[in-house]
Amino acid sequence: MWLLLCVASVAWGQQTADGAFRAGQAAMARGDRATAQREFATSLTLYAQMEAQAVAQHRALPASTLQRYAFALATVGQVQDATVQMKAASDAEPKNATLHNDLGSLYAQQQQWPSAEKEFVAAVQLMPLNAEMHLHLGLAMQAQGEPRGLKEMARAAALDPRSEAIALQYGVALEGAGDDAKAIPVLQGLLVRHPANVGAMYELALALQRSDRVPEAVALFEKVLKAQPQNADAMTNMGMALTQEQRAKDAVPVLQKAVAMAPQSATALEDLAAAYVQLNQLDDAVTALQAALKISPDAPQLHYDLGLAYKMQDDGVRAIPELAQAERLDAKAPEAPLALGMLYMQAGRYEDAARELKTSLDMRPQNGDAWATLGSVYNHLDKLPEAEAALAQAIAQLPEQADPHLTLAAVYVKEKKTAEAVAERKQAAELMRTHMNEQRAEVATHAGESLLKSGDVAGAMVQFQDALSYDPKYSAAHAGLAKAYDAKGRSADAAAERAKIKPKP
């Protein structure tokens, strides 16, 4: 009789605890957090009593009970205790994929990624066709920088192509991996199936913005802000996109609103400054950047931007310290030393200029203009072999520019290499003549196009032919002359002109 009473008591406690647990779940589903917390607290008291009773009787609670106990603990924020209970449930039923998945999720909440991955691997091995488990495994791998994580998320998306959550997570993961080209069709497909998914709209807008498809991004940002007018991040990105479209006048009020919504956002202030620069409102740009630096005083990009703003105001005294600070904060970025080198050169501080330009070029050697400037600086310092080497780089990267040849000729004169100096001057003269002829051809071609539009075909033909006398390879002139021949009914001559047009490399 006593044993029957114990069994009945355990069953009653189980039913009561599970009932409170289910009531808590129902309250959560309808958004009633207060009731949910109360019901879960009741279930926790009962589960704890059941656990104590089980320990006293030298037995274990069923895995299903431990699972609910763990969920209730996690819901009230006791994640570590929840992990202990879920681990016990999983140990009790090691072939239960759901328990491994739930345990992995608790480890993930605590950012214990290796442990989370281990549990998700076990879950996937037990249920290889479960999309959600592949997604969880992929996210855990990605959190640890494992490239295989994307493959797991792709597998999840393939297993459940209709899932909004999986498609969105996969698209975001592709973006995080820097693969916007793959992320864009994933997010577009999601929006075809679920056009009201604001998260997908926002992520797709960001990917399009980074891919220089700015008008499409702007249209999506507008939709996001219509659905979420207080979304400061979307407002900031919308403003930046407008600036990218050269619509700074429209961008400024949008970014001002973003700053008002998120006054501690250094990014919003930085983007506002960029819009001001585009409008040539440099004082306003400086003010915005100074405010941003109060929020993020160690942000190298902000110091760099402020230094450039001062440079644009011809204020080298204030520009140099900002650029120097940017370089100190991010010694691997080539932009700040390049700007510093230019400022030092303008100030006649050639040793400093050479040092900074060389620093920048060591990091980014594919900059012909910087090599040309460094060659000129070395020439001022009478470091002639160094000047020769720098100018050789400039000429290799800028084969159509005359200035590096002229500077190199000056270096050769100092070295008394007369023949080499003459050859460089001759090359420079040829390049200048070619450039001048290209300009003449361009002017004549524009004149011909204007005459053609006005109906003066004969006059247009003269202009196009003049253009080709300056530059026989000028494609726009060949195209214009072909149109003129078409207007005259001379289709064979038109075809011959079009055959001379060289495709762009």
Q: What is the pLDDT of residues 222-279, one digit of tens each?
A: 999 999 999 999 999 999 999 999 999 999 999 999 999 999 999 999 999 999 999 9
pLDDT interval class at 8 (50, 70, 90): very low
How long, in residues, is the chain? Answer: 505
Measured over the CA atoms of residue 91, residue 93, residue 95 and residue 96, the dihedral's sign is negative
78 or 44, which is more confident:
78
Domain count, the chain: 1
pLDDT interval class at 4 (50, 70, 90): very low
Structure tokens that stand for 60 in this block: 């274990």
DSSP 505: -
125 or 76, which is more confident:
125
pLDDT at res. 7: 35
Q: Is residue 449 in some structural domain?
A: yes
pLDDT at res. 9: 39
As a whole number, mean pLDDT of residues 428-448 equals 89
Q: What DSSP letter does each residue of 199-228 carry, written as one string? A: HHHHHHHHHHHHTT-HHHHHHHHHHHHHH-
pTM for the full model? 0.76
**Is there a contact between 470 and 478 (Cβ–Cβ < 8 Å)?**
no
Q: For tokens 């064979």, name the residue.
A: 492
**Which SS3 state, helix, strand or coil, does residue 171 take?**
helix
pLDDT at res. 14: 57
Q: Is residue 487 in some structural domain?
A: yes
Q: State pLDDT tens for residues 469-490.
A: 888 888 998 898 889 888 989 9
CA dist 366 and 403 (Å) reads 18
Q: State pLDDT tens for residues 266-314.
A: 999 999 999 999 999 999 999 999 999 999 999 999 999 999 999 999 9
Q: Is residue 496 in some structural domain?
A: yes
Q: Is residue 499 in some structural domain?
A: yes
Instruction: Please give the span between the terminal C-alpha atoms of the chain, in angstroms, as a whole number.
Output: 95
pLDDT at res. 502: 78
Q: Is residue 31 in some structural domain?
A: no
pLDDT at res. 350: 97
- Domain region containing 484: 442-505
CA dist 79 and 74 (Å) reads 5
User: SS3 for 313-341, per residue?
Assistant: CCCHHHHHHHHHHHHHHCCCCCHHHHHHH
Q: Is residue 491 in some structural domain?
A: yes
For the CA atoms of 468, 472, 474, 479, the dihedral, rounded to the nearest 10 degrees, stands at 60
Q: Is residue 273 in some structural domain?
A: no
pLDDT at res. 505: 54
If phi over 0 gives left and psi between -120 and 50 gives alpha, with beta otherwise, what is residue 383? Answer: beta
If phi over 0 gives left and psi between -120 and 50 gives alpha, with beta otherwise, what is residue 89? Answer: alpha
pLDDT at res. 20: 63
CA dist 293 and 274 (Å) reads 15
Q: Is residue 102 in some structural domain?
A: no
CA dist 13 and 480 (Å) reads 91
CATH number at residue 450: 1.25.40.10
